[in-house]
Structure 1
Amino acid sequence: MIDCQRERFSIPEEVHYLNCAYMAPLSHGVVQAMEEAARLKATPWEFAPVDFFTVCEHFRERAARVADVAVDSLAIVPSVSYALAVAARNLPVSAGQNIVTLADQFPSNIYVWRELAARTGGKVSTVERSSQDCWTAAVLDAIGPDTAIVAVPNCHWADGRIVDLERVGVACREAGAALVLDLTQSLGAMPIDFAKVQPDFAVAACYKWLMGPYGIGMLYVDPKHHDGEPIEYNWINRGGSEDFARLVDYRDDFQPGARRFDMGEKSNPPLLMGASAALDFLLEFGVDAIAETLADQTQAIADAAAKMGLTSAPIGTRAPHFLSLGFPGDVPGGLTERLAENRVHVSLRGTSLRVTPHLYNNGADREALLAALR
């Protein structure tokens, strides 16, 4: 178990923030890195042309270590919707083919597929899970010879129930379907073996479980798509762009690997250096240890909540860092507002109370939540 890291965050003792799936608080280290990076704009003569590239590669290298993938397989993106637009541009869908998604999946991983299906004559197939199960069986049942793309998360953003991505990856390869993942609610808090899953594209925004700032994320691109088409054509992604004196010697080649998919104006020191500091925090402990520690936290809450008649899925059906508490009847009116009055901060998603702690939480946070629920 990892010791509580609360002293590294600006969370007052009386505040009980159990809502990392909503937005992670920035650690002191991340804030300091962002402030130092912002001051670079005050002295731009000290920001050399090479720094446009080094700040990017510093972030890319750390992101690759957290995901355990090759550095050249990662692109820098501003959002999940941007990354999924890249995926949609590079994956074929024919008339009559389907794109598999989860019911009540987060909108950024729905709208892009609806638009792609409308343009190509395909259709979006939304799967429903059995009431007490994880999502795996429902996804596997939906994959067939007419499946073009499976676009799913590792765990559902509302209920935390998992998709077994290794089994889904096998089914996709057998059907000739592409696999696109939104890992925003899992990467950094839940292990994933990219070598076994073999996604075509996978994205994670940094502002949740990667503990970083808003407005930046990482996009994994399988090497077979490295010659694909970006959604914007900016100068810095082209070959030879390190030589500022020759930028008007226009070139058709790109920077190596997935860098052709990097967003424009990617060399933003506050975002990149802040996100890098956040990734360093995760790398200090390792994703496996973080997942184990968060599983211990969520299970302790689940066990105590069960004594009040609240239900939850077991770990294995749900992600270790995600706990959704169900009520025996209707959700009490104004529940989250009443909890907030007691300085307990969680989220209501559908008919479940979503409780998502991190390393900054302690036993006092757990007891405050349980006392407020009682």
Structure 2
Amino acid sequence: MYMLTCKHSKFTLPPRITYLNCSYLSPMLKSVEKVGVRSLRLKRNPAGIAAQDFFKDSETLRAAYAKLIHVKDPKRIVIIPSVSYGMANVAANMKLSKGQHVLVAAEQFPSNYYAWQRACSEAGAEVKAISPPATLQGRGKIWNERILEGIDKNTRAVAIAHTHWADGTKFDLEAIRKRTKEVNALLIVDGTQSVGAMPFDVQKIQPDALVCAGYKWLLGPYGIGLAYYGEYFNDGKPIEENWINRLNSEDFTGLINYQSEYQPGALRYEVGEHSSFIHVPMMLKAVEQLGKWGVENVQAYCAFITKEAVYKLRERDFWIEEENYRGHHLLGIRLPQHMDLQKVKDDLAKNRIYVSFRGNAIRVAPNVYNDEKDLKKLVKVLGR
């Protein structure tokens, strides 16, 4: 591991703003923007788009992303338009029964909830939401313990994020995976708020599915995501049928010879028109850049630039989860009791500091384009 330096020059952020909000939308790398403009112009002259172009960049993207999350077979990676699409494929193939439940963390992102709500309603099952403790003391530890205790013989799946979208609480996926295996339940992970900034090893965690939007920590454009589907989904039924996911679709002259078989691996679950000649090259460029930096180095850099700020905020009675139960890229900051949340919002906006407010937490999400000065500015404003 080596220490990254600030990569602000790789982006086109205005100089007078302090953007600490990657969990909302990431800014775009200059290199990704350049690829996007070039790709947009390809449609000016479609004579330059060959049949192999429908497959080439997609295959390269799968391979690059597989390497990023430690997947041996790139055909386990599929291109999706959104988390809800990726989760819909899981829900359609989960085989729920009456009396079973899908366990989720309370107040997790809706795209990792509504699919289970519908599936459970149709099957006579239920969604079992595990709430955090009312106390802030040991909050992340107790929440993780409650989740493990909630997994039993009636658990069909645990559908959870690696880090909670509202406040960055980190869930112990390896421990959860161990427990799900004991009761023969699936582990479905929404990696949108972690993958790209926090290391994720599919070989270690062994999720049955990992679904990620591309426009946050993966630094890609809006409208594309990536999903991993494990062996459980080998023979499943995709939520849509399209030509490009069928066997031998590379042979355009033979497309009228309809195929009953799909492409190998998990490719049956890819969205139609996944070749997307704009989104795919942009997403590829972003993933390749993350591969060069190293996700573990991104996480270490975020830890470095936030360390002093966390210490100083705690000194002033702000609450931030202990390090073992949060990521360094996504901080949920809770205010001292005497502090007016609306006044905090107004002061941050006045000083052009961009964060998010989720529930009663200030969600602060720095990335490699930030530095220690950005966090010092945040501390200064909050400390007033």
Q: Is the counterpart of residue 140 in structure 1 residue 148 in structure 2?
A: yes
The one-letter amino acid paired with 2:83 is: V
Name the structure 1 match of 2:83. 80
Instruction: Give the CA deviation at 1:93.
Output: 0.9
Name the structure 2 match of 1:299. 307
Name the structure 1 match of 2:166. 158
Name the structure 1 match of 2:122. 119
What secondary structure does 1:257 align onto?
Answer: coil
Which deviates further from its counterpart, 294-303 or 213-222? 294-303
Name the structure 2 match of 1:29. 31
Name the structure 2 match of 1:236. 244
Name the structure 2 match of 1:267. 275
Alpha-carbon separation, structure 1, partners of 2:164 and 2:88: 20
The one-letter amino acid paired with 1:82 is: Y
Instruction: Give the CA deviation at 1:320.
Output: 2.1
What secondary structure does 2:325 align onto?
Answer: coil
What secondary structure does 2:342 align onto?
Answer: coil
What secondary structure does 2:341 align onto?
Answer: coil
Alpha-carbon separation, structure 2, partners of 1:14 and 1:309: 29
Alpha-carbon separation, structure 1, partners of 2:344 and 2:221: 28
The TM-score, its normalising length taken from structure 1, stands at 0.97
Name the structure 1 match of 2:204. 196
Alpha-carbon separation, structure 2, partners of 1:62 and 1:337: 42
**Is the Cα contact below 8 Å between 2:190 and 2:211 reproduced in 1?**
yes
Alpha-carbon separation, structure 1, partners of 2:84 and 2:341: 34
What secondary structure does 1:105 align onto?
Answer: coil
Name the structure 1 match of 2:42. 40
Alpha-carbon separation, structure 1, partners of 2:308 and 2:363: 15
Instruction: Give the CA deviation at 1:88.
Output: 0.4
Alpha-carbon separation, structure 2, partners of 1:313 and 1:29: 35
Alpha-carbon separation, structure 2, partners of 1:224 and 1:113: 18
Name the structure 2 match of 1:364. 373
Identify the match of residue 181 of structure 2 among 158, 170, 173: 173
Name the structure 2 match of 1:93. 96
**Is the Cα contact below 8 Å between 1:33 and 1:277 reproduced in 2?**
yes
Instruction: Give the CA deviation at 1:11.
Output: 1.1
**Is the Cα contact below 8 Å between 1:309 and 1:327 reproduced in 2?**
yes
The one-letter amino acid paired with 1:133 is: R
Instruction: Give the CA deviation at 1:364.
Output: 2.5
Name the structure 2 match of 1:224. 232
What secondary structure does 2:323 align onto?
Answer: coil
The TM-score, its normalising length taken from structure 2, stands at 0.95
**Is the Cα contact below 8 Å between 1:34 and 1:274 reproduced in 2?**
yes
What secondary structure does 2:96 align onto?
Answer: coil
Alpha-carbon separation, structure 2, partners of 1:368 and 1:29: 28
Count of residue correspondences: 374
**Is the Cα contact below 8 Å between 2:306 and 2:372 reproduced in 1?**
no
Instruction: Give the CA deviation at 1:133.
Output: 2.4
What secondary structure does 2:189 align onto?
Answer: strand
**Is the Cα contact below 8 Å between 2:6 and 2:370 reproduced in 1?**
yes
What secondary structure does 1:269 align onto?
Answer: coil
**Is the Cα contact below 8 Å between 1:4 and 1:360 reproduced in 2?**
yes
**Is the Cα contact below 8 Å between 1:336 and 1:346 reproduced in 2?**
no
Any runs of at least 4 consecutive aligned residues in structure 1 with deviations exceeding 3 A, and if so which? none
Alpha-carbon separation, structure 1, partners of 2:125 and 2:306: 40
Name the structure 2 match of 1:349. 358
Query: What percentage of aligned pairs have identical amino acids?
Result: 37
| Ranges in structure 2 where 5+ consecutive residues have no aligned partner | none
Name the structure 2 match of 1:280. 288
Instruction: Give the CA deviation at 1:40.
Output: 0.9
Name the structure 1 match of 2:5. 3
Instruction: Give the CA deviation at 1:334.
Output: 4.7
The one-letter amino acid paired with 1:140 is: L
| Ranges in structure 1 where 5+ consecutive residues have no aligned partner | none
What secondary structure does 2:127 align onto?
Answer: strand
Q: Which digits, 9 at most, give the CA deviation of each residue in 1:224-268, with x for residues without a partner?
A: 312211100000010111111111111111111111100001111
Q: Is the counterpart of residue 110 in structure 1 residue 113 in structure 2?
A: yes
Instruction: Give the CA deviation at 1:331.
Output: 4.4
**What pairs up with 1:311-322 in 2 under 5 angstroms?**
311-322=319-330
Q: Which digits, 9 at most, give the CA deviation of each residue in 1:87-145, with x for residues without a partner?
A: 00111111011110011111111111110010000001110123332232111011000
The one-letter amino acid paired with 2:30 is: H
Across the aligned residues of Structure 1 and Structure 2, the Cα RMSD in angstroms comes to 1.2
What secondary structure does 1:359 align onto?
Answer: coil
Alpha-carbon separation, structure 2, partners of 1:352 and 1:251: 52
Alpha-carbon separation, structure 1, partners of 2:340 and 2:220: 32
Alpha-carbon separation, structure 1, partners of 2:165 and 2:171: 12
